[in-house]
Amino acid sequence: MKRIGVITSGGDSSGMNAAVRAVVKTALDQGCEVYGFLRGYTGVLNGKYSIMDSRAVSGVIQRGGTILQSARCEEFKTEAGQLKAVSNLFGLGVEGMVVIGGDGSLRGANVLAGMGMPVIGIPASIDNDIFGTDISIGADTALNVIVGAVDMIKDTASSHDRAFIIEVMGRNCGYLAAMSAIACGAEVAIIPEIGFDLGKIAERLYARFKEGRTNSIIMVAEGAMSAYEVENQLKDRIGYDIRITVLGHLQRGGSPTVFDRILASRLGRSAVEALLRGESGKMVGQVKNRIVLTDLDEVLGTCKMVDLEMIELTDILGR
C-alpha cells in the first residue's frame, strides 16, 4: 500500500487531531503517502484533500476540534454518493482509508469496505457509545470539561440552597451523565439505559432538603429527558430552588486530556498497521488497555451500555 486516505467525520471530539497525527506519522514511517480529505465524506465526494507531511501535523496534538474539519454528509448516505466516493478514491490511487468518527461515520466506513476499499475505523465520540472499545476518543476530555463546570456550579448552588439540573450530551448512552455524577458527587444521574421514577427522586431530594443539605446536583443525559422536563416534574416538590444548566457544545471543546492524546495516538498507529497488514472492515479499539480489532459488523450491531457497576455506584454515592 503506497497511498492511504484519512477523514474525521460526524460530531467532532477532542483528540481527533492526535489520531490524525498518529495516522500520518505511522504511514510516513512505513513509506506511505497520506491524503487528508477535508470535511469527512464531503471531501471524498468533492475530491478536496491535502497531502499530509509531518509538518501538517506538527503542533496539533494539544488542539481540540479537527484540523481536517468534520461534516455530516447526506449525499454519502445514498448509493450514488457511495459509488462516487469509491470511484474518486480509486481514481486518486488511494488504496486504503482510515475513518475517524462516531457510530454513523463507522457505518459509512463499513459501506466503503463492502465496496472493496480497505478501511479501518477509529472510534471518536464523546458519548462513548461505540462497542468494541472501552472508551472512545474525546469521552475523557468531555468528562473533564463537565466535571470542571459542575465544580464551579456547586459553589453557587451551596451558597443559595439550590438544586441544579445539569444536562449533558448522550443520545442513547448515559456514560457522561453517570461518570460525571460519580466524579462530581452528584445526588442523581438520569440516564437512558435504565428506568427512573421522578416521584422517588423528588422524595429523595426533599428529604435531603429537610436535613438541611445546602445543594443538590442532578445530572441528566439529553437522551433520557431534557433538563426542562425534569424541572417541570420536580418543581415545588423538592424544597430547593431549581436552576438549569445545559452544557451543550462546551462539552466537545477543549484541549484533549493526556488520556485522550495517548488513546488517539495508539489507535492511530494501530489503524495504519492493520491496513498495511491487509485488514479491512474493522475498528481498532482499546479493551482492558490492549489494542484490539473488531469487525465493523459486530461493532455496529452491538449496543454498548454503561457498566452496571457504575450505575449502582451513582446510586449508592448519591444517597
Q: Which is nearer to ligand ADP, 108 or 318 (CB)?
A: 108
Q: Which positions ≥6 away from 25 have C-beta within 8 Å?
A: 54, 57, 269
For residue 270, give every residue at least 6 positions away whose Cβ sits within 8 Å of its Cβ, in sequence order, or none.
Answer: 284, 291, 293
Residue closest to 218 by CA, chosen among 207, 229, 206, 205? 205
The angle subtended at Cα 145 by Cα 141 and Cα 147, nearest 5°, is: 115
Q: The C-alpha cell of 252 is what?
A: 466537545
Nearer to ligand ADP, 122 or 275 (CB): 122
Q: How far is the CB of 215 from ligand ADP (least distance, A)?
A: 34
CA 208 distance to own-chain centroid: 34
* Window contacting ligand ADP (CB under 6 A); options: 14-22, 50-58, 73-81, 114-122: 73-81
Residues 18-57, mask of contacts with ligand ADP (x by CB under 6 A): -----------------------x----------------
- Give the three-state DSSP class for 194: coil
Host H or E run for residue 217: strand 215-221
Angle at 104 between CA 83 and CA 129, to 5 degrees: 155
Residue number of the CB closest to ligand ADP reads: 104
Nearer to ligand ADP, 82 or 216 (CB): 82
**Contacts of ligand ADP in 92-151 (CB under 6 A):** 101-105, 107-108, 111, 125
Check if the beta carbon of residue 181 is closer than 8 Å to that of residue 219. Answer: yes
Distance in Å, CB of 143 to ligand ADP, minimum? 17
Among residues 49, 76, 164, 240, which is the contact residue for ligand ADP, using CB under 6 A? Answer: 76
Choose one: 9-17, 53-61, 255-263, 270-278; the region binding ligand ADP (CB under 6 A). 9-17
CA dihedral 220, 222, 223, 225 (to 10 degrees): 60
Minimum distance of ligand ADP from residue 9's CB (angstroms) = 5
Stretch that binds ligand ADP, among 6-14, 139-147, 180-188, 241-249 (CB under 6 A): 6-14
Q: Residue 19 CB, nearest distance to ligand ADP (Å)?
A: 14
* 164 backbone dihedrals φ, ψ, rounded to 5°: -110, 130
Q: Is 257 helix (H, G, I), strand (E, B) or coil?
A: coil
Between 79 and 197, whose beta carbon lies closer to ligand ADP?
Answer: 79
Q: Which amino acid is at 211?
A: E
Count CB neighbours of 28 within 10 A: 16
CA distances from 42 to 24, 37, 78, 81, 260 (A): 20, 8, 13, 10, 26
Report, in Å, the least distance between residue 130 CB and ligand ADP. 9
CB of 312 to ligand ADP, least distance (A): 29
Active site residues: 127
Tell me how many residues contact ligand ADP (CB under 6 A): 17
> Per CB under 6 A, which region of 5-13, 150-158, 213-221, 289-297 contacts ligand ADP?
5-13
84 belongs to the binding site for ligand ADP (CB under 6 A): no
| Interacting residue ranges for ligand ADP, rule: CB under 6 A | 9-11, 41, 72-73, 76-77, 101-105, 107-108, 111, 125
